[in-house]
Structure 1
Amino acid sequence: MSAPTSMVQSVEWAVIAPPVIAAAGALAVLAADLFLPEARKRLLGPAAAATLALALLALLPLRAGDRTTFCAPGGPDLCSYAADRFALTVQLLVLGGAFLTALLSLPGERERRGHEGEFWFLLLSSASGAALLPAARDLATLVLALEVTTLPAYALVALRRGPGERGPEAALTFFLSSITATAVSLLGIGFVYAGAGTLYLDEIAARLPGEAAPELATVVRAGVVLTLVGFVFKAAAVPFHFWVPDTYAGAPLPVAGYLSVVGKAAGLAGLILVAVRAFPGYGGLWGPAVAVLAGLTMTVGNAAALRTDPEAPGSAIRLLAWSSVGQAGYLLVPVAAAAYEDTPGDAVGAALAYGLMYAAVNLGAFAVAAHVARRSPAHRVADYRGLYARRPLAALALAFFLLCLAGLPPGVIGLFAKVAVFATAVEAGLAPLAVAMAVNVALALVYYLRWTALLFRGPEPAQAPAPADDDTAGETPRATPAADVPEHPSEPLPERLPTPLTGAIALSAALGLALSAAPQLVLTLASGAIW
């Protein structure tokens, strides 16, 4: 009788250090919040930011090559965690995005109204899940990481409370739609397991579709489609995008920025792992579906952004929300192209290159929005008129971020990233999708340039109220006399820009400028296999 196979799995702590550091920091913040006096709880924010910085530094020893852990006996395909090039790139994106979010959140102590410890605990918990997700190599770990990323986000959205605030309502919308998508994905995973007999991604790719029983073929195909639903939802692709505008508008502004970058990156990474790595044999099934979703997502997002009323309350955040939906469409283009490539590494690399560019500049735009909101809490696009006269550096930074998102100089990295994504569609033979992307890039120029131009316009002249006298009821209101207009309308804002907010804007701008000056730093991802 042969000896039983050992099921003990070795653990390399250095390999799993990034998500573990974030999770340990979350627990430490929660414990400290219980014992620290109220006056010292302001230290929790810097401690959380330092934790995320330490998690980023933990990536450095892993950059040399592929390393795995939590491996079952039987070979390298039975590992649950892998620190390969794909995982490290996405971990850099999500942990960097969480760090910038922490900087944006440091000045918001008053808004949280005594929920300081809860906020930082939830942010670090979500970041730990987002760091775990791209390294997951089995469906159980993947879904667990996705939920650890998402569950704290519901509470983060709901922390914005008070008269007229819609945080709890936005959180409920986000929660109900998200758990529905997750339930559908779990049903799909059950179908896939019935056909493949395993949850490991590489084992699924090896066994499906060839080794699945013929009577299970339809069940497996349904499982492939259903499994992808949850990840498409997290990536905010149409028609699973309906939660985005209301959630972003109702959430605290740094949380909206976090969801637009880290939440989207987690969904995209999960979609790539499931579709490209686990289901390569079903590319003919999910490839056309993702291509259609990409075209619809970019079109709906850009069309809604064009229709945004700049005078409406919250229009700035809604415009950024619809912009993020449109950008999600561009991110899905390389995923669709990967279905038609024998070696999908280049297409996946293009998606990661675009994601890194988008993360840096989009969080920078949210940082400037957080600054403007301190003076104009209505969050209207019209509030940005004449920002250059009041805060020239903030206006120049926002203009640069918007031009990067539009793909125009001096935002060179935005242009190069769009070209890399466009090339994947052309090389895969997806001509209609390439045309749709070109049209949508042109459409997006309208609202990006319109917002950019607004930053450099002079303030509108004040208007006197219409006279109540019947004799003048039909006259056109006259401009307020010069004596009634403030003598120095363009003087600096009265409040001092907080140092963490300044740091977030400066760091995002520095990253965008560095990548624009040397785009090969990111585009090397698009020129080689990711796995």
Structure 2
Amino acid sequence: MTPTAAAAAAVQGADASLVRAADASLVQSVDWLAIAPPTLVAVVGLAVLVADLFVPAARKQLLGWTAIAGLAASLALLVPLRKGDRSTFCLTTDVQACSYTADRFTLVIQLLVLGGALLTALLSLTETKERLPAGEYWFLLLSSAAGAALLPASRDLATLVVALEVASLPAFALVGLRRGDRMSSEAALKFFLSSVTATAVTLLGVSFVYAATGTLHLTEVAQLLHDVPERLDVLAQTGVVLTLVGFAFKTAAVPFHFWVPDTYVGAPLPVAAYLSVVGKAVGFTGLVLVTVVAFPTYADLWGPALAVLAALTMTVGNVAAARQAADRPWSAVRLLAWSSVAQAGYLLVPIAAAAYSSDDQIGATVAYALMYAVVNLGAFAVVALVARTRPRNRVADYRGLYATHPVAALVLGFFLLNLAGLPPGVIGLFAKVTVFSSAVDAGLGWLAVVMGVNVVIGLYYYLRWTAVLFRAPEGEPVLHRVPAPVTTAIALTAVAGVVLSGWPQFALRFAATSLF
């Protein structure tokens, strides 16, 4: 073979190698089992929307039961994913550059999100029968749940933002779905404007990060930010800050919390319950992924910022709730709204601590989120029960609840004690201790002190509400029938709360092991 022919053969071989490499990066091997939970929820949502065109008005309840069945089936699909991490939508054969990963963190958050959506669906059956358009409601709820279930598995910034918006956009409509209600429309508008602002800020931050690194995959962003050129360092830092600000809006961290009280009060009760748990889980999940996975290089930037946000959020939430409890009359839903802001502050503590400690602190946030999801949804379930006869839903309306519905009163008291961190709410107490320990272990003693003071403030309004439940009722107690779906939701959350209090290791083990 002549030198010219050898050179030509080498060029042809190189071209063939490039073609094979290109083919390997373009052809996607989809792991259908990994993406099954959010995919099934989305498919059922579309099926419900189409079925709504043909199902007669008298049988619209079938749409709700179909949605519940779809959510239950998606929860069942999490079981075969426990055996190991699965990744799909990868750029190459390297699993570290994948857009979707079903690891332990993903599965726990998907359990929280889909379980929360299922309980919300149970609370919504009566609402869709009496007040809300069934087809639109179930489609919007399932669409939002599908986006919320996709978000914890997202491992690139583009998928993360898309999942965030798929979870958020239907929620705007859900808040304002009570037609003809001025308060509901105002709540939807406030929620929409704040969320759109957060999305715009997040997208600007993501674009700056991409300009500095040239990639959107979280693991690659983390590697490239470690060696970012000095001329791009300011751009990268600005991108990190703006991205965090966007997610702080979603988590209702102070000072980005102003939309929460009016939105919760104006929204239908099941939607308020959904936003308080699933909506909050979406924001915190995104915050964990961008800080711990994508931006560990700038921990000295986001760590102090999140610590300050945690202190402000828990303090403002608790003080506002205590002030609400001192007013007459005080709204139960508005009190739970301010309580959710305070709880967001506790959830921020381990994320901030992760910037200061080499130990995995994110598990403490996950453990606390599991506790909060169960007891807060349970509290909203009892609130939905009382709202059937007391539409204004003032805390004074709960006076004598033990005389009319003793089980509901005991359950609500148990949930409030969990939120306060008092026995017999063992899981609430242990979750708070876990979060407190994460701050101490990270050397954030001042934040632990602030948390301790706020726990004491929280006792004031949680215990005042609990005491109202067992006071003698004014006048003759009026008994009324409780719908079976509401009873089921209360029972499920009560059982989950009791099991977690009797076996707290189920939730707390996440705080002791690495989730990534």
TM (norm. structure 2) is 0.95
Match in the other structure for 2:338: 322
> Is the alpha carbon distance of 1:124 and 1:314 closer, same or farther for their aligned partners in structure 2, counting shifts above 3 Å?
farther
Match in the other structure for 1:126: 144
Q: Give the CA deviation at 1:311.
A: 6.8
Match in the other structure for 2:75: 56
**In structure 2, what residue type is equivalent to 1:136?**
S
Q: Does 1:504 find its partner at 2:489?
A: yes
| 8 Å contact from structure 1 (residues 311, 381) kept in 2 | no
Q: Give the CA deviation at 1:64.
A: 1.1
Distance in structure 1 (CA, Å) of the matches to 2:114 and 2:326: 33
- Secondary structure class of the residue paired with 2:89: strand
Match in the other structure for 2:154: 136
Distance in structure 2 (CA, Å) of the matches to 1:521 and 1:416: 12
Q: Does 1:391 find its partner at 2:405?
A: yes
Match in the other structure for 2:501: 516
Match in the other structure for 1:438: 452
Match in the other structure for 1:208: 225
Distance in structure 2 (CA, Å) of the matches to 1:160 and 1:385: 28
- Secondary structure class of the residue paired with 1:324: helix
Match in the other structure for 1:336: 352
Distance in structure 1 (CA, Å) of the matches to 2:341 and 2:272: 13
Q: Does 1:525 find its partner at 2:510?
A: yes
Match in the other structure for 2:202: 185
**Which structure has greater helix proportion?**
2
Distance in structure 1 (CA, Å) of the matches to 2:253 and 2:325: 23
Match in the other structure for 2:9: none
Q: Give the CA deviation at 1:248.
A: 0.2
Distance in structure 2 (CA, Å) of the matches to 1:354 and 1:309: 24
1:280-329: per-residue Cα shift (whole Å, max 9, x none)?
A: 01000000000000000000000000011577567110000000000000
Equivalent residues in 2 for 1:85-164 (5 A)?
A: 85-113=104-132, 115-162=133-180
- Secondary structure class of the residue paired with 1:68: strand
| 8 Å contact from structure 1 (residues 364, 509) kept in 2 | yes
Distance in structure 2 (CA, Å) of the matches to 1:342 and 1:208: 19
Equivalent residues in 2 for 1:248-263 (5 A)?
A: 248-263=264-279
| 8 Å contact from structure 1 (residues 111, 160) kept in 2 | no
1:83-105: per-residue Cα shift (whole Å, max 9, x none)?
A: 00000000000000000000111
Distance in structure 2 (CA, Å) of the matches to 1:438 and 1:338: 20
| 8 Å contact from structure 1 (residues 160, 250) kept in 2 | no
- Secondary structure class of the residue paired with 1:63: helix
Distance in structure 1 (CA, Å) of the matches to 2:78 and 2:93: 28
Distance in structure 2 (CA, Å) of the matches to 1:14 and 1:524: 26
Q: Does 1:46 find its partner at 2:65?
A: yes
- Secondary structure class of the residue paired with 1:70: strand
Q: Give the CA deviation at 1:108.
A: 1.1
| 8 Å contact from structure 1 (residues 386, 457) kept in 2 | yes
Q: Does 1:82 find its partner at 2:101?
A: yes
**In structure 2, what residue type is equivalent to 1:204?**
V
Match in the other structure for 1:482: none
Match in the other structure for 1:472: none
Q: Give the CA deviation at 1:111.
A: 4.2
Match in the other structure for 2:417: 403
- Secondary structure class of the residue paired with 1:69: strand
Instruction: Compute the RMSD of aligned alpha carbons.
Output: 1.2
Instruction: Identify which of 2, 6, 18 aligns with 1:3.
Output: 18
- Identify unmatched segments of 5+ residues in structure 2: 1-14
Match in the other structure for 2:213: 196
Instruction: Identify which of 216, 223, 239 aligns with 2:239.
Output: 223
Match in the other structure for 1:418: 432
| 8 Å contact from structure 1 (residues 154, 174) kept in 2 | yes
4+ runs deviating over 6 angstroms? none
Distance in structure 1 (CA, Å) of the matches to 2:99 and 2:226: 22
**In structure 1, what residue type is equivalent to 2:176?**
A
Q: Does 1:70 find its partner at 2:85?
A: no
1:202-244: per-residue Cα shift (whole Å, max 9, x none)?
A: 001111132x121110010000000112211111110110000
Distance in structure 2 (CA, Å) of the matches to 1:254 and 1:74: 43
> Is the alpha carbon distance of 1:255 and 1:21 closer, same or farther for their aligned partners in structure 2, counting shifts above 3 Å?
same
Q: Give the CA deviation at 1:109.
A: 2.6
- Secondary structure class of the residue paired with 2:60: helix
Distance in structure 2 (CA, Å) of the matches to 1:179 and 1:25: 27
| 8 Å contact from structure 1 (residues 313, 379) kept in 2 | no
Q: Give the CA deviation at 1:112.
A: 3.1
Match in the other structure for 2:32: 13
Q: Give the CA deviation at 1:36.
A: 1.1
Q: Does 1:293 find its partner at 2:293?
A: no
Q: Does 1:175 find its partner at 2:175?
A: no
- Secondary structure class of the residue paired with 2:388: helix
| 8 Å contact from structure 1 (residues 333, 425) kept in 2 | yes
Distance in structure 2 (CA, Å) of the matches to 1:59 and 1:33: 28
Distance in structure 2 (CA, Å) of the matches to 1:391 and 1:310: 26
1:351-405: per-residue Cα shift (whole Å, max 9, x none)?
A: 0000000000000000000000001000101100111011100000000000010
**In structure 1, what residue type is equivalent to 2:80?**
P
TM (norm. structure 1) is 0.92
Distance in structure 2 (CA, Å) of the matches to 1:17 and 1:100: 20
Distance in structure 2 (CA, Å) of the matches to 1:267 and 1:377: 30
Q: Give the CA deviation at 1:459.
A: 2.3
| 8 Å contact from structure 1 (residues 209, 281) kept in 2 | yes
| 8 Å contact from structure 1 (residues 404, 414) kept in 2 | yes
- Secondary structure class of the residue paired with 2:65: helix
Distance in structure 1 (CA, Å) of the matches to 2:238 and 2:327: 46
**In structure 1, what residue type is equivalent to 2:196?**
I
| 8 Å contact from structure 2 (residues 329, 396) kept in 1 | no
Match in the other structure for 1:36: 55
Q: Does 1:236 find its partner at 2:252?
A: yes
- Identify unmatched segments of 5+ residues in structure 1: 461-485
